[in-house]
Amino acid sequence: MDMMRRGFLAAGSAGLLSVSTATAGPSSQAAKKPGVRMAHITDVHIMPEREAPAGAAAMLDHMLGNDDWRPELILNTGDSVMGVDGGTTGKSAEAQIAVWREVFGDCGLPIRSCLGNHDVWNGGGPTEAVPLSKKGFGLMTEVLGMPAPYYSFDHGGWHVISLNSMCNWPSYATLSDEHFAWLVKDLEQTSLPTVVLSHIPILSVTSQVYGDDTRKGNDNIVPGTWHHADCWAITEVFRRHPQVKLCLSGHMHTADHCIYRDVAYICGGAVSGSWWNGSQYGFPPCYGRLELFEDGTFDYQLVDYGWKTSDWRGKQLSI
């Protein structure tokens, strides 16, 4: 197993196409030196099955075992467990949470998370450890050590906002009026360069190239849960607050980097690839390396950490 392959990933016949960086605006080398390093993980979908514990551990080994690049913080954009939503019982939720804690609980780095759609427990079959009082956002908010379902913090001269794309659950991919007002107020209170975390992409081209599910005759129609339906309103808020430099997301298990109004939007693939079954449309299991600089610029590299299961398959076009 080659554990040292790296690169910015893109879908194509060769899978890995090139190494790239995403940099918001010009920056001198002198200004870029005092950067803070963070790792971006998303869609871990941890569970006892499908060799997921070994795969997630291999990802951490790859991330933390490199002397040339080591983060001081992990940003996690959701779907941390395979799924506590739907009809998942408290007993099944316990098993998934136990694996999360086993793999990530002692990794040696703080992890700052947001909630994914598979992180919202519907309350089925409660147990003593997973009581009905933790239904909804309560269970995984606690497990992930989040202060609230949405929150913000400062680190290394940057402001980080963790949104809750699930706040209107069971509908999702929009912000509630209360959450939207909180976002506006939060941005009014900081002048630091800002990173925004959300599970559902705010903007992304991945939804246009996600198989043929979007094709309706001669039209390409994006499902409302594939990127934020309120993207226009959110981007208008960002336009009025130019300190917002970068938005990180997951959900699609594929990767892109797009820029709108000088804000970069990066969908970071998935640590689990195709839910620990292989590559998702050519995107293998991966994580992101993020370096944030004092002048508000950044570099981002998506890393293939080389994981393959014994039963390797994936989702792709059959030709």
pLDDT of 16 higher than 50: no
What is the model's pLDDT at position 42?
98
Identify which has the larger pLDDT, 216 or 268.
268
- d(C-alpha 54, C-alpha 44), whole Å: 12
Answer whether residue 301 shows pLDDT above 60.
yes
Alpha-carbon torsion (96, 88, 82, 120), positive or negative: negative
Say if residue 4's pLDDT is above 70.
Answer: no
Q: What is the mean pLDDT of residues 253-274?
A: 95
pLDDT at 67: 80
- Positive or negative, the CA dihedral 103, 144, 282, 301 is negative
* Domains detected in the chain: 36-304 (3.60.21.10)
Taking CA atoms, 186 is separated from 29, 152, 210, 243, in Å, by 31, 8, 33, 12
The whole-number pLDDT of residue 207 equals 87
Q: What is the pLDDT of residues 32-68, one digit of tens each?
A: 565 899 999 999 999 999 999 999 999 999 999 888 8
Give the pLDDT confidence score for residue 319 in this predicted structure: 64
C-alpha–C-alpha distance, residues 176 and 267, integer Å: 22
Instruction: Pick 145 or 14 by higher pLDDT.
Output: 145
Give me the mean pLDDT over the 263-272 stretch: 96
pLDDT band at residue 14 under the 50/70/90 scheme: very low
Instruction: Confirm if 308 and 3 have CB atoms less than 8 A apart.
Output: no
Q: Look up tokens 């913090």; give the residue.
A: 153
Does the pLDDT value for residue 19 go beyond 90? no
For the segment 71-82, the average pLDDT, to the nearest whole number, is 97
- Report whether pLDDT(3) > 70: no
Residue 310 pLDDT class (50, 70, 90 cuts): confident
Residue 11: band (very low, low, confident or very high) from pLDDT cuts 50, 70, 90: very low
In the chain, the amino acid numbered 81 is V
111: enclosing H helix or E strand: strand 111-113
Per-residue pLDDT tens over the stretch 78-99: 999 999 999 999 999 999 999 9
| pLDDT 10s digits, 148-186 | 999 999 999 999 999 999 999 999 999 999 999 999 999
pLDDT of residue 15: 31
**Residue of 270, 266, 303, 186 lying closest to 24 (CA atoms):** 266
For 100-133, the pLDDT digits (tens) are 999 999 899 999 999 999 999 999 999 999 999 9
